[in-house]
Structure 1
């Protein structure tokens, strides 16, 4: 059976000015990926940038996802915030509503939800915050960003995350994700960015990791442990050094390996 995978990237985080007609790094990333996780203004971006990314994604048939985060522009959403569940739920909803409206005006729609940074890592284990996230996503159906056929929006997360388990219980589709440019611990979680081995930036190493993830459903952790990875989507971060080169190399390798690269939605 032909292997298939979605290829996603975080966008709208300020890598270029998104001036009309002027290609930049994020435009190049959109040429490689099949899904765009659009910053919703809480950790980066604004409505002008959201609209530009959505228009560019629509032109390329790239799926648009809402990359929701803590309200933390100063820390780029990479600091854990111990916010109450009702506050987090309202913050996530605000981001979904905003991007849903902007995407429609740009001629596309929000197709899935993926948390960013510290929130992404928190909801792997933090049940209260995971539940707040899932509650917001589940309640958004039929609202400002109605999904196709009013189906619940898919939620993207790390395999084994509490957020995905809770989403599954609520009837949401869950999408497990792997990372091309991040180091893994032996437990399958990501190595914190403050530690050695957190980033993988060599194009050959990144390509080899992705092909192993897609074909063999595994990745080698920083301590040499082989960790199982069962993912529908692979991510390259837009702020990883050399991200455009990495993304282009990954896409070429997947195409050359006859992997069916397409959005999961």
Structure 2
């Protein structure tokens, strides 16, 4: 039994060498909230060395706020920015003779297209030409899920191992003190419940149905390495392999 653990990397945390051996797919910052040719190349190389599937991680073009605030930007500007980020990323992948496995939007863009139908349609229009043989990571029961399916885009459901959920399966705001999980055992129990029972316990203590093909641990989580090492050990004991 396999579990896919993904991680947002290439974001300036300089911890990728510590994380890559524990994950099976990665989302590399593509120049919107963070990322240059140099950081993209370095992270791609680490992914190749660790046999990790490679994904692009486009966002609002907002390095100042690390892509975690919705930008007041026109549809055209955002469309062009997303394509510029993906063009840069694919150019770098070509230098390593690698294929793109998936696209995962970052931060505020990810959260926006999960709930806003118009934004989700605009995002799909921007990425459509890149999606041949490529997956889009989407949250379960979201606007982007439905729009992607309507446009024949292959999706993989993503859930977050180090984030708490609200009653409507949205991520608890980072402004909330209990938004982020840093205790490795809590993260393991959180993911294990989703894997085995297909449900997640919300911050309010209720259980909600959820689907997940891949589970994210944020690379900027202060306990990321400790969490990933713990997951690897504990899931192995249960007969699961991360990969």
Question: Under a length normalisation based on structure 1, what TM-score does the superposition of the two structures give?
Answer: 0.88
Displacement of 1:83 after TM fit? 2.2
1:91 to 56, 81, 88: 81
Alignment partner of 2:104: what SS?
strand
CA deviations 1:105-140 (Å, max 9, x no partner) are: 124222110000000100011122211211122122
Unaligned runs of 5+ in 2: none
CA deviations 1:7-46 (Å, max 9, x no partner) are: 1000000112xxxxxxxx2111111000010000110121
1:211 corresponding residue in structure 2: 192
CA deviations 1:124-178 (Å, max 9, x no partner) are: 111222112111221225xxxxxxxx43x21111111111111100100111111
> What RMSD over aligned residues (CA atoms) do the two structures have, in Å?
1.3
Displacement of 1:257 after TM fit? 1.5
Q: Is the 8 A contact 1:69 1:119 kept in 2?
A: yes
Aligned pairs (5 A) from 1:6-21: 6-16=4-14
Q: Distance in 2 between matches of 1:62 and 1:120?
A: 22
Alignment partner of 1:176: what SS?
strand
2:220 corresponding residue in structure 1: 239
CA deviations 1:72-100 (Å, max 9, x no partner) are: 00000000113222222211111111011
Query: Are positions 1:103 and 2:93 aligned together?
Result: yes
What stretches of structure 1 move > 4 A for 4+ residues in a row?
Answer: none
Which has the higher mean CA deviation after the structures are superposed, 176-185 or 244-253?
244-253
Query: Are positions 1:157 and 2:155 aligned together?
Result: no
1:20 corresponding residue in structure 2: none
Displacement of 1:5 after TM fit? 2.4
Q: Distance in 2 between matches of 1:178 and 1:102?
A: 28
Alignment partner of 1:156: what SS?
strand
Q: Is the 8 A contact 1:93 1:137 kept in 2?
A: yes
Query: Are positions 1:33 and 2:23 aligned together?
Result: yes
CA deviations 1:219-256 (Å, max 9, x no partner) are: 11111011212100000001111111111111222222
Alignment partner of 1:10: what SS?
strand
* CA gap 1:229/1:249 in 2 versus in 1, 3 angstroms: same
Q: Distance in 1 between matches of 2:47 and 2:144?
A: 27
Aligned pairs (5 A) from 1:223-238: 223-238=204-219
Displacement of 1:205 after TM fit? 0.7
2:63 corresponding residue in structure 1: 73
Q: Is the 8 A contact 2:16 2:46 kept in 1?
A: no
The alignment covers a number of residue pairs equal to 243
Which has the higher mean CA deviation after the structures are superposed, 105-114 or 185-194?
105-114
Q: Is the 8 A contact 1:86 1:132 kept in 2?
A: no
Unaligned runs of 5+ in 1: 17-24, 142-149
2:106 to 107, 111, 116: 116
